[in-house]
Structure 1
Amino acid sequence: MNALTRRNLLSGGAVAAASLATPALAQGKTEWRMVTSWPKNLPGPGMTAERLAQRIGAMSGGRLTVRLYAAGEIVSGLEVLDAVRGGAADAGHTASFYWQGKHPATVFFTTFPFGLTPTEHMAWIEHGGGQALWDELYARFEVKPFMAGNPGFNMGGWFVRPIRSLDDIRGLRLRVAGTGGEIYRRLGATPLTTPVSEILPALQSGMIDGAEFLGPQSDLASGFYKVARYYHHPGFNKPNGTGELIVSAKAWNALPDDLKAVVENAARAENAYSLAEAELMNARALAALKEKDIELVRFPADVVRAAQGAAAAILDEIAATDAIAGRIVASYRAARATLAPWSEVSVRSFLEARDPD
């Protein structure tokens, strides 16, 4: 596969390729080890991690290179934060909601049920005070976070049997990430946190009855349709999918200011590039899935209402955790209250006018 040119990386025209990182031998050059939560070459976040590594190398003129390790090569996908914090890696590409067991407010920096859309989330982080709160929260983990990739809107997940009413949720064993797991628990299901590489085998073995992951692009590549043919929407559990680059405080503080700017802007470029890519690739993948004898199923109204009630209660509970959680929830709520009316009269009303049927 051809290496990416510096011009392509700087312009956002990067295409997926293998990592350019090589051991740093010359004085003044630095090499990072970056672990990820994704299988190698996974469409969506896996390819985002590869492009991000290349962007950093190209934009720094080779002064900072990144050697990439997929989930399982050094640590599992759910151990990325500990690996970066503990020094096994300098950086990681992952998603913040995997760390809700360490602090429940981490979920807001990926997504929250019935929360911000992808562009609304970017507005909150970049311009609404979200980044400062994220930095403050992650300081306790000794890492510096950045938005660094987004697969866009997520689907509601794959189910072996269709969900036609709230009663159909009860008793199910579901792979679900983020706060959605607690929502499903309150609706009567048993949520499980399963690494991405183990979702399909768990469906095949009958260990789980359903699973949500991302959107059509990544879901198609993961092969879930081979076992569970009922594909549900809307993705109320994960209306956004921001991935994060986390850099150890030690590695970050060792960089000169110009290389810090390289890392920050490489992450920002990949975040925008991947979101644009996701819109097209998810559309193509959904069309491909429709040809594979799947059934698109809209969650029934009683499931959505029950999930909304559970989400509101969980939001209050997280806010009461500690002072920083309270400030994060307040900021997130304020962003949603500010942005929602504009989304209503811009996006929703336009789509209704464009596609009235």
Structure 2
Amino acid sequence: MTTRRDFIGKAGMGIAGAAAFGAPAVHANKKTTIRWRMQTYAGPALAEHVVKPAIESFNKIAGSEMQIELYFADQLVPTGELFRAMQKGTIDAVQSDDDSMASPTEVTVFGGYFPFASRYSLDVPVLFNQYGLNEIWDKEYAKVGVKHLSAGAWDPCHFATKEPIRSLADLKGKRVFTFPTAGRFLHQFGVIPVTLPWEDIEVAVQTGELDGVAWSGITEDYTVGWADVTNYFLTNNISGAWAGSFYANMDQYNKLPDRLKELLKLTMDSSHYYRQWWYWGGEASLRVHGTKMELTSIPDEEWTQVEAAAVKFWDQVASESATKKQVVDIFKRYNADMQKAGRPYRYS
């Protein structure tokens, strides 16, 4: 803010300068810093890894030209309202998955953890950059005034629970915090999906409102405190990697000069790369050296029932629209290619 005293003082200097040079004072117009507000799906502890380093890097390089103010889960708006807030311009950008922020697109169901769509984290960027998902996402979000900026992978989806899970029967009646589509899929095995604000999960597990979470891998369980309130970690997973993205209000994005668009892209790529090694190393290390949760497994002969159910679920989703069928067909083609490629891409 410019105070009255500052204004008068600066005006006086301008007059003095004009008199000294015998010409009117000309003041260069300073460029206004572009300011964006971005909200992530992640709480503070998790955001320290999945987004904050990248945004700090962007701000450092962009300097006075542009600054992004980062907000954590539910800080400005509830996660389920992120899309609408961004579409309206209440916030400028979002880091989330399509499913959690309830985006009204044909691809929303595939965000987060679409059952068995991936086995490894590298599957996600390959699907988007080499198998055509980028083009589909771009088209779908352009219809609703949002720019899909960049997709990347996070961790696999596992159960962390208070009671052990060693068979499919043990899943029945478990009240679990999970993603909408994952919950829809798991419901057939007796799981009761529960939706709560992210920051309330730890307390909900402690009080018995929740029996566990199926929201992440073991790295996040330790990072955000869930490993402190659960006792068991199920090694079987329903997806090899969470698929999430960065998005922006289309009008705000279009106003950016090309240089800042390119910087934003590079920053997001650095964020994706950080998560690749942070999660990959963390998942293995904490299974081997972690002391807070006991590892359990459902036998392969039982788990094949879940994998078979996923194939039926894919076909069910594909029948809902032409765009969904296009995405499912890509998943099928990709996984068939990986299976034929053999080791190390897929193991029989």
TM-score computed with the length of structure 1 as normaliser:
0.81
Partner of 1:146: 149
Q: Contact conserved, 1:33 with 1:68, CA < 8 A, in 2?
A: yes
Q: What CA distance in whole angstroms lies between the structure 1 residues aligned with 2:218 and 2:174?
A: 23
1:316 Cα deviation (Å)? 1.3
Q: Contact conserved, 1:155 with 1:233, CA < 8 A, in 2?
A: no
Q: Does 1:37 pair with 2:41?
A: yes
Query: Does the C-alpha gap of structure 1 residues 176 and 110 become closer, same or farther in structure 2, counting only changes over 3 Å?
Result: closer
Q: What CA distance in whole angstroms lies between the structure 2 residues aligned with 1:182 and 1:303?
A: 20
Query: Does the C-alpha gap of structure 1 residues 142 and 135 become closer, same or farther in structure 2, counting only changes over 3 Å?
Result: same
| Identical-pair percentage | 24
Alignment of 1:4-19 (within 5 A): none
In terms of fraction of residues, the more strand-rich structure is 2
Partner of 2:130: 127
Query: Does the C-alpha gap of structure 1 residues 187 and 34 become closer, same or farther in structure 2, counting only changes over 3 Å?
Result: same
Partner of 2:314: 315
1:130 Cα deviation (Å)? 1.1
Partner of 2:207: 205
Per-residue CA shift, 1:201-259, capped at 9, x if unaligned? 111111121212222221112222333211101222x3112331111111111112222
Q: What CA distance in whole angstroms lies between the structure 1 residues aligned with 2:276 and 2:154?
A: 6
5+ unaligned residues in a row in structure 2: which ranges?
1-28
Q: What CA distance in whole angstroms lies between the structure 1 residues aligned with 2:308 and 2:196?
A: 25
1:60 Cα deviation (Å)? 3.4
Per-residue CA shift, 1:282-324, capped at 9, x if unaligned? 33433453x23x2101123355233223322221122122222
Alignment of 1:93-172 (within 5 A): 93-99=95-101, 102-103=104-105, 105-116=107-118, 117-147=120-150, 150-152=153-155, 154-172=156-174
Q: What CA distance in whole angstroms lies between the structure 1 residues aligned with 2:124 and 2:339?
A: 11
Across the aligned residues of Structure 1 and Structure 2, the Cα RMSD in angstroms comes to 2.4
Alignment of 1:220-259 (within 5 A): 220-236=222-238, 238-259=239-260
Q: What CA distance in whole angstroms lies between the structure 2 residues aligned with 1:209 and 1:150?
A: 27
**Which amino acid in the other structure matches residue 229 of structure 1?**
N
Query: Does the C-alpha gap of structure 1 residues 100 and 332 become closer, same or farther in structure 2, counting only changes over 3 Å?
Result: farther
1:104 Cα deviation (Å)? 5.9
Q: Contact conserved, 1:155 with 1:215, CA < 8 A, in 2?
A: yes
Per-residue CA shift, 1:171-214, capped at 9, x if unaligned? 22111214321121111221123332222111111112121222
Larger radius of gyration: 2
Q: Contact conserved, 1:104 with 1:318, CA < 8 A, in 2?
A: no
Per-residue CA shift, 1:93-138, capped at 9, x if unaligned? 1122314673463243444211222112211111211100111122
Query: Does the C-alpha gap of structure 1 residues 230 and 108 become closer, same or farther in structure 2, counting only changes over 3 Å?
Result: same
Q: What CA distance in whole angstroms lies between the structure 2 residues aligned with 1:216 and 1:160?
A: 14
**Which amino acid in the other structure matches residue 219 of structure 1?**
D
Q: What CA distance in whole angstroms lies between the structure 1 residues aligned with 2:246 and 2:266?
A: 12
Q: What CA distance in whole angstroms lies between the structure 1 residues aligned with 2:152 and 2:130?
A: 18
**Which amino acid in the other structure matches residue 308 of structure 2?**
G
Per-residue CA shift, 1:136-170, capped at 9, x if unaligned? 12223321123365333x24211222222222222
Q: What CA distance in whole angstroms lies between the structure 2 residues aligned with 1:118 and 1:136?
A: 24
1:30 Cα deviation (Å)? 0.9
Q: Contact conserved, 2:124 with 2:152, CA < 8 A, in 1?
A: no
